[in-house]
Chain A
C-alpha cells in the first residue's frame, strides 16, 4: 500500500519463531479499509492458526484528530465470539511507525516470549525472566532492556499468565479497552508482551489537500468537543460523585490520547503531593485513570479515596476492573489489593456477567472510528468525525474512492 499504511503487514508464528512480511495490497485496503474491519479480514484469513490481530486504522498515527486507535481482534474467551478491543493512547500509532500496520500473531510459543517490533524488524525475545512480573515491572524491564522509555507495549500481568477470562491486555501501565479476556489469549500463547518502537514515515497521496481538509475537520472537532476535560469529558462513565470528589483531591493533571484535543484521562497522585508539577524521584507516583468506566466500577467497590490505588493494582495484575470489581471484599486499599492478588490467581475471577467495551461501538460514528483508527470517545462527541467526512479524507489521502459505507462493518 503506497499511502497511509506501511508496505507490509506482519504475520508472526510464535510456534516456529518465524515472522513473515506480507504485502498490504491496495485492493485489500479498498475492500476492508482498516482497523476492526481489516483486522477481521486478517483474522478470517488465519483463523485456523489461533490468531490475535493487532491493527491500525487508515488514519492511525496521522494528523486526523484523535488518530490514536489500534484495535485488537480475536475470538473472546469470554463470549466465544469475535471481538474488537480499542487500544488508545500511543500504541496504535507506534505500531504503524514500526513499519507494520497490522500484526497477526499465530499459535503458541514454547516458552514465555515477548515480541519486539522495531523499524521493520520483528524479534522474538525470551521473556522467561519476566513471567510472574506485573505489568509495570514488565514495561520498565523491557524499556530498560531495549533502551528507550517511549517503547509502547501491550502487556499482561499475572491474570493473563493464569489465562483468566477476567484478564486484560494492559497498555504500558494502564488499562484500556480489552473487556474480552484477550489477556488470557496472550497468556495462552506464552506471549508476555508486544513491544513497539519505530521511526517510520507515511506517504499521503494528496498531501496538501489532506492537510487542508484535516485543518477544517480539526476546527470543527475542537468546537464540538468544547472545553470539558477530565472526568467532565468522560461523563459516559457515570463515576459516582463521592469517587469524583475524592479523586479531585488527588488530581495532578489531565491527558489526551495521541493527537486528540479531548483530555479525558486523569492522572491521580497519591504517593506525593498532587500539586507538585516537577518530576520527583518517585517513579509512577500514582495512576492514570485511562479507563473511566473501570474506575467507576472500582470506586463503587471500595472506599472512594482508595479507588486510585486499587485501580493501580488492577492494572499491575492485568485484570479487567469491570469484571472483578464486585469480587473485591475489602473496602480499604490494602485489603482490596490483597483480594485482587488472590483474584489474579483464582478461577473465581472468571465468573462475571458484565461484558462491554469501555467505549461501546453503539453509534455509526464510533463504528466508523474503529475502522478509521480514531479514538471512539472523541468520535462519540465530535459530529465532524462522521463516516462521510472520514470517507472524504480517505479518498484524498489514498487516491482510492471511498464512500461512507466503507466505514461500516
Chain B
C-alpha cells in the first residue's frame, strides 16, 4: 500500500440515523481486504468530535434526509471541519448526495461542492417498474433512478462491473473524474425506457475525487464495496491506499467486558437463541415493505442484516474469551429484535401498518450487529488469540 498499510488505516463507518443496511457490505469487504482498524460511529459520536481520531469517514447508502436530520448542523459541520483539516470522506449513494450541491436551492446538507447530476428533474421520465422506489422528492424536483443493479463503469485504463442502487449520475469536470458510467449489462434492471436510461447515465461520472481544504472527498454512485463485485472492491482498495493519515488520537473505546467460561457460553446462548428466533420470524414475513423517511425497506433487507449478524456470532463462538462492549445492552437488543419481529408478524397479518416497529427493528439490529462487529475487529486488531485460543 502507498502511504498507509491496510492494518493501520483507521476507518470510521457511519451507521447512525438514516444509514441503510449496505454498511454491512463495507464491513465484509474491508475485512476481506485485511483492514483491521474498522470502527462504527453514529450521529452522537460525530457531534462529540470523535472524527478527528480517524483517517477517513465512510458515509454509506441510506436516506440523506434522515442522515442530515440525525447529524443536525452540529454534526454536519464536524464532518466539514474533518475534511477541511485533512480527513478523507468516502460517500456512496446517500453519502454522495449528502455531500454535493446539485440544485439552485440545496438542502442544508454538507454541500461541499457543486456537482450537477443528470438524474434530477422537475419532470422525471415515467417509470416502467418499481415505481415505489423510483423517485425521491427533492425541493422543487425529483431525484430519479433510471436503473438498478449491475452496470459497467470505467475510464481509459480499466472497466468493471458494479451495482447501482440509487446513486447519482454526476456531471463533473474531467479533472475530478475517476470512473464514468460506460454501459449497462444483461443484469441491469431498467426502471425507465432503456434509451432514456442511457441518456441519463452513460458518459457521466460514477466516481469522482474532489479536494476540499487539506482533505478530499471520494464520491461514488455505485456500491464498489459490494462483496459480490471483487473487481470493484479492488478499485476501492486502490482508493483506500491513497488516503493520507489524519487521525490525531486513539479511536473511541467503550467499557469493554471480558467474557469467558460459563458467562460467555450463557451470553452467546442468549444472543443465538434470540437471533435464531428472529431469523425464523423474518423468513416467515411475506413481501413486507416499509417507507422510512424517503427510503424503502423490504423485509429481505432485514433478513440479510440478521443473516450477516448470525455469521458473525458463529465466528465469535469459536473463541473462548471475548472482549465485548455492553454485553447486557446487546442482549436487550437481541430480545428486542425478536419481540419486534413477532409484533410485526402479528400486526401485518391483521393488515396494520408496521413502519414504526420496522424503524425500531432496524435501529436495534444495527446496534446488535455493530456490537458484534466491534468485538470481531477488536479481536482481529489486537491479535490476542491464535487458533481461537488464548495465546
At the interface, is chain B mostly helix, strand, loop or mixed? helix
Return B337 CB to nearest CB of chain A, in Å: 13
Query: Is B272's CB under 8 angstroms from A121's CB?
Result: yes
B277, B279, B281, B307: residue with the most chain A Cβ atoms closer than 10 Å? B277
Q: Which residues on the B side are within 8 Å of A199 (C-beta)?
A: 279, 283, 307, 310
> Is B264 among interface residues, defined by CB-CB distance under 8 A?
no
Query: Is A123's CB under 8 angstroms from B280's CB?
Result: no
Residues of B271-316 at the interface with A, using a CB-CB cut-off of 8 Å, are: 272-273, 275-277, 279-281, 283-284, 307, 310
Interface string of A115-126 (1 = CB under 8 A from B): 000111101000
Query: Is A119's CB under 8 angstroms from B284's CB?
Result: no
> Is B9 among interface residues, defined by CB-CB distance under 8 A?
no
Query: Is A197's CB under 8 angstroms from B273's CB?
Result: no
Residues of A141-188 at the interface with B, using a CB-CB cut-off of 8 Å, are: 146-151
Known A-B contacts A147-B342, A199-B307; the reply to A119 vs B281 at CB < 8 A is no
Query: Is A119's CB under 8 angstroms from B276's CB?
Result: yes
Return A8 CB to nearest CB of chain B, in Å: 12
Partner of A147, one of B269, B275, B307, B341: B341
Partner of A120, one of B276, B277, B341, B345: B276
Interface string of B252-283 (1 = CB under 8 A from A): 00000000000000000100110111011101
Query: Is B284's CB under 8 angstroms from A123's CB?
Result: no
Known A-B contacts A148-B284, A149-B284, A199-B307; the reply to A119 vs B345 at CB < 8 A is no
Q: Which residues on the A side are within 8 Å of B281 (C-beta)?
A: 146-148
Return B274 CB to nearest CB of chain A, in Å: 10
Query: Is A146's CB under 8 angstroms from B277's CB?
Result: yes
Partner of B279, one of A119, A123, A150, A151: A119
Return B303 CB to nearest CB of chain A, in Å: 9
A123 to B274, CA, bound (A): 12
Smallest Cβ-Cβ distance to B278: which chain A residue: A147
Residues of B299-354 at the interface with A, using a CB-CB cut-off of 8 Å, are: 307, 310, 341-342, 345
A149 to B280, CA, bound (A): 10
Smallest Cβ-Cβ distance to B283: which chain A residue: A148
A255 to B114, CA, bound (A): 61
Q: Which residues on the A side are within 8 Å of B307 (C-beta)?
A: 199
Query: Is B283's CB under 8 angstroms from A119's CB?
Result: no
Known A-B contacts A119-B310, A199-B307; the reply to A148 vs B272 at CB < 8 A is no
Smallest Cβ-Cβ distance to A118: which chain B residue: B276
A128 to B358, CA, bound (A): 33
Q: Which residues on the B side are within 8 Å of A197 (C-beta)?
A: 280, 283
Return A31 CB to nearest CB of chain B, in Å: 28
Known A-B contacts A147-B342, A147-B345, A199-B307; the reply to A120 vs B280 at CB < 8 A is no
A150 to B345, CA, bound (A): 14
Smallest Cβ-Cβ distance to B286: which chain A residue: A149
A65 to B281, CA, bound (A): 29
Return B310 CB to nearest CB of chain A, in Å: 7
A148 to B342, CA, bound (A): 10
Smallest Cβ-Cβ distance to A117: which chain B residue: B276
Known A-B contacts A119-B310, A199-B307; the reply to A150 vs B276 at CB < 8 A is no
Q: Which residues on the A side are within 8 Å of B277 (C-beta)?
A: 118, 121, 146-147
A118 to B276, CA, bound (A): 7
Q: Which residues on the A side are within 8 Å of B284 (C-beta)?
A: 147-150
Smallest Cβ-Cβ distance to B344: which chain A residue: A147
A118, A119, A197: residue with the most chain B Cβ atoms closer than 10 Å? A119
Return A251 CB to nearest CB of chain B, in Å: 27
Smallest Cβ-Cβ distance to A149: which chain B residue: B284
Q: Which residues on the B side are within 8 Å of A151 (C-beta)?
A: 280
A122 to B342, CA, bound (A): 19
Return B179 CB to nearest CB of chain A, in Å: 34
Smallest Cβ-Cβ distance to A199: which chain B residue: B279
Q: Which residues on the A side are within 8 Å of B280 (C-beta)?
A: 118-119, 146-148, 151, 197
Q: Which residues on the A side are within 8 Å of B272 (C-beta)?
A: 119-121
Smallest Cβ-Cβ distance to A146: which chain B residue: B280
Return B320 CB to nearest CB of chain A, in Å: 16
A147 to B345, CA, bound (A): 7
Interface string of A192-206 (1 = CB under 8 A from B): 000001010000000
A409 to B269, CA, bound (A): 38
Return A309 CB to nearest CB of chain B, in Å: 29
Return B81 CB to nearest CB of chain A, in Å: 45
Return B74 CB to nearest CB of chain A, in Å: 41
Smallest Cβ-Cβ distance to B345: which chain A residue: A147
A147 to B285, CA, bound (A): 9
Q: Which residues on the A side are within 8 Å of B310 (C-beta)?
A: 119, 199
Q: Which residues on the B side are within 8 Å of A120 (C-beta)?
A: 272, 276
Q: Which residues on the B side are within 8 Å of A123 (C-beta)?
A: 273
B269, B280, B310: residue with the most chain A Cβ atoms closer than 10 Å? B280
A151 to B342, CA, bound (A): 15
B272, B276, B341, B345: residue with the most chain A Cβ atoms closer than 10 Å? B276
Q: Which residues on the A side are within 8 Å of B269 (C-beta)?
A: 121
A146, A150, A199: residue with the most chain B Cβ atoms closer than 10 Å? A199
Q: Which residues on the A side are within 8 Å of B342 (C-beta)?
A: 147
A151 to B283, CA, bound (A): 11
A148-B284, A197-B280 provided; 6 other pairs, C-beta below 8 A? A118-B277, A119-B275, A120-B276, A147-B342, A151-B280, A199-B283
Identify 18 residue pairs between A and B in the complex whose beta-carbon atoms are under 8 Å apart, listed by A's number: A118-B277, A118-B280, A119-B272, A119-B279, A119-B280, A121-B269, A121-B272, A147-B277, A147-B280, A147-B342, A148-B281, A148-B283, A148-B284, A150-B283, A197-B283, A199-B279, A199-B283, A199-B307
Q: Using a CB–CB distance below 8 Å, which chain A residues touch chain B?
A: 118-121, 123, 146-151, 197, 199
